[in-house]
């Protein structure tokens, strides 16, 4: 049977940490996020002194180019980075808790592949070109993929549920990716439009889109918080969870709703960004232990820190151009994740 991250199993000190220490850790993570976000406003192809950034936020002057860059370009992408990173971190924590699979993320269960297929179909057959139009199809594609995976996984009672979801997700990913590739190979114009969305970026994103979709993010976050105790019970195994009085069907469908809302919105806004939803819960679990209420809170903050930090790094490594945040996360995150896995001890059964 698939098990939750080994770090949770071998972290008795983290499990015994007092709530005061964990609250302090959340405060430290929040302070780090604020620092990274502030750097995101100051650094880039055009570096802006910190005092000018503060003036731009508190006392903007019309006609000042530095103030314009801060308020019109960097504030929106930083706010979007925080929201998308937090959503992906929460989504990964919910998926890993629900499936008891430490490598579960939106990509594993076919959600990003479903979003990509929907976007390609919208561009090719409906002529959708604007980012504001694409986001709704990405959201719908994620939702359909999640419903397919969870719906098929709920049929019958045979087999291990977490493994079933992973296998179904792999099949959905393969099918959707194949269809996407076929469409792209036969329509170069669609490929040109699609490639700017698929790399995963915070630049050029409209803050108005985030405002429009923010109710979905808020609803997904609230559902995630509400199922924290259920995720703790699911981590013990289906039989024991039922013995504790948990209604697993309701918990899994609630998690599906949270994943659709969080992953669908994040992917629609910024494109498919890998690794954040995989790594943030791992890092959170090493600090908090197995309590999902703390894991969810830390995952949201760590996901936001990772994505905004990657966006800042992408602006600095290729001046005067930039590397997209999704690519930076993948390049930097891969080695980190390998180190985490190598340092993990095997689970004693």
Give 230-279 pLDDT, tens digit per residue.
Answer: 898 888 777 787 777 777 778 888 998 999 899 989 988 898 898 899 88
User: Quick check: is 154 in a domain?
Assistant: yes
- 48 contacts 69 by C-beta, under 8 angstroms: yes
The CATH code of the domain that includes 141 is: 1.10.3470.10
CA distance 126 to 119: 10
User: Quick check: is 6 in a domain?
Assistant: no
CA distance 103 to 166: 10
When comparing pLDDT for 161 and 298, which is higher? 298
User: Quick check: is 200 in a domain?
Assistant: yes
CA distance 337 to 339: 5
Q: Is the pLDDT of residue 290 over 50?
A: yes
User: Quick check: is 77 in a domain?
Assistant: no
Helix axes 19-42, 50-58, angle to 10 degrees: 100
Q: Is the dihedral of CA 261, 265, 266, 272 positive or negative?
A: positive
CA distance 126 to 262: 26
| 195: containing domain | 22-71+89-343
Q: Is the pLDDT of residue 83 over 90?
A: yes
Q: Is the pLDDT of residue 8 over 50?
A: no
Give the chain's domain count: 1
pLDDT for 343: 62
User: Quick check: is 15 in a domain?
Assistant: no
Q: Is the dihedral of CA 218, 275, 315, 265 positive or negative?
A: negative
Give 23-47 pLDDT, tens digit per residue.
Answer: 999 999 999 999 999 999 999 878 8
CA distance 148 to 175: 12
Closest CA to 254 of 205, 287, 221: 221
User: Quick check: is 83 in a domain?
Assistant: no
User: Quick check: is 333 in a domain?
Assistant: yes
User: Quick check: is 76 in a domain?
Assistant: no
pLDDT for 337: 66
- Give percent above pLDDT 70 in the chain: 89
């Amino acid at each position: 049977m698939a098990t939750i991250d080994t770090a949770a199993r071998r972290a008795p000190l983290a499990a015994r940490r007092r709530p005061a220490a964990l609250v302090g850790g959340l405060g430290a993570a929040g302070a780090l996020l604020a620092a990274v976000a502030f750097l995101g406003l100051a650094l880039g192809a055009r570096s802006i002194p910190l005092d000018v950034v503060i003036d731009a936020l508190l006392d903007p002057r019309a006609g000042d180019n530095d103030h314009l860059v801060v308020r019109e370009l960097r504030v929106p992408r930083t706010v979007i980075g925080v929201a998308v990173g937090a959503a992906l971190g929460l989504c990964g924590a919910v998926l890993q808790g629900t499936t008891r699979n430490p490598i579960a993320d939106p990509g594993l269960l076919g959600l990003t592949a479903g979003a990509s297929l929907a976007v390609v179909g919208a561009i090719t057959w409906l002529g959708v070109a604007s980012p504001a139009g694409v986001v709704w199809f990405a959201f719908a594609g994620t939702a359909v993929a999640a419903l397919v995976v969870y719906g098929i996984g709920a049929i019958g009672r045979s087999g291990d549920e977490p493994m079933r979801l992973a296998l179904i997700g792999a099949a959905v990913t393969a099918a959707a990716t194949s269809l996407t590739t076929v469409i792209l190979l036969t329509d170069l114009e669609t490929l040109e439009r699609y490639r700017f969305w698929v790399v995963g970026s915070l630049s050029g994103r409209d803050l108005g889109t985030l405002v429009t979709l923010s109710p979905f993010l808020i609803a997904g976050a609230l559902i995630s918080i509400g199922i924290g105790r259920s995720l703790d019970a699911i981590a013990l195994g289906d039989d024991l969870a039922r013995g504790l009085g948990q209604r697993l069907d309701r918990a899994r469908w609630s998690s599906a709703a949270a994943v659709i809302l969080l992953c669908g919105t994040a992917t629609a806004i910024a494109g498919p960004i890998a690794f954040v939803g995989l790594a943030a819960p791992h890092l959170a679990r090493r600090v908090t232990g197995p309590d999902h209420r703390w894991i969810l809170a830390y995952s949201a903050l760590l996901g936001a820190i990772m994505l905004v930090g990657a966006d800042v790094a992408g602006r600095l490594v290729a001046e005067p151009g930039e590397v997209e945040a999704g690519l930076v996360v993948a390049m930097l995150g891969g080695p980190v994740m390998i180190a985490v896995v190598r340092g993990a001890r095997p689970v004693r059964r």
